[in-house]
Structure 1
Amino acid sequence: MKLPTALIGAWDQFVESCEAGYGDILDEFTFDRSVRDRIAVALQDEGLREFEQMRWVEEQIRAIDGRYRKLLLDQTVFEGRPWWKATFPRYAGPQMAAELLATYGLTVAVREPPSAWP
């Protein structure tokens, strides 16, 4: 299991890339978003909850979650899934935007990723 700080960093980086307009394909988006699943497991781990540092972890995750929630479409695509997996961001790079339209009939705003995309 990754350290909570590594999970925070990965989630923050993912959300930042979504804010810019996720610049990769839908499969990579799904994989990158899965870090939030690992975070959910860590937040529910009774052994970790005993540590005072987990309050800080929870605060960081709440802040990043808030940024991600603001990006999401109002439309639920997948009923019964956790909120972070129920829909998609309202912005995407050209390739993912095309995939969302072709696969789910979703129209999102296209944002060109920065030229120095990681």
Structure 2
Amino acid sequence: MATHERTRGARRSPAHGRNPEDAAQLVPLAGASIGLDLTGLASTIVVVRRVADAVVVEDSSTAPAPEAVVTSSTFDFLAWSTTCTPWREVTQATGDVSIAASFLDELNLI
């Protein structure tokens, strides 16, 4: 089970609780970030980026500008972030879509 810690408004989670050496393969965001614009009930806008061996989720108002933004309803997010539905079918991506795709193709929240 992944652990979480609060740091300056950001949430950090080691890549699936695995060894830090594996993080480079599990978190393909090195040097880049993506924005998640979740709409509907419990809407939020966050920026996801990699810091060392962790994925950091930051409020978009304090985070660096992302290279790509993925927009989805919160309802659809529950389906595609757990791989029940392919993310490409229920999201809209803008900016550098290849960066978003490299991360979202590997994402599977459990």
Q: TM-score, normalised by structure 1?
A: 0.30
| Pair member with larger Rg | 1
Higher relative contact order (CA 8 A, sep 6+): 1
Q: TM-score, normalised by structure 2?
A: 0.31
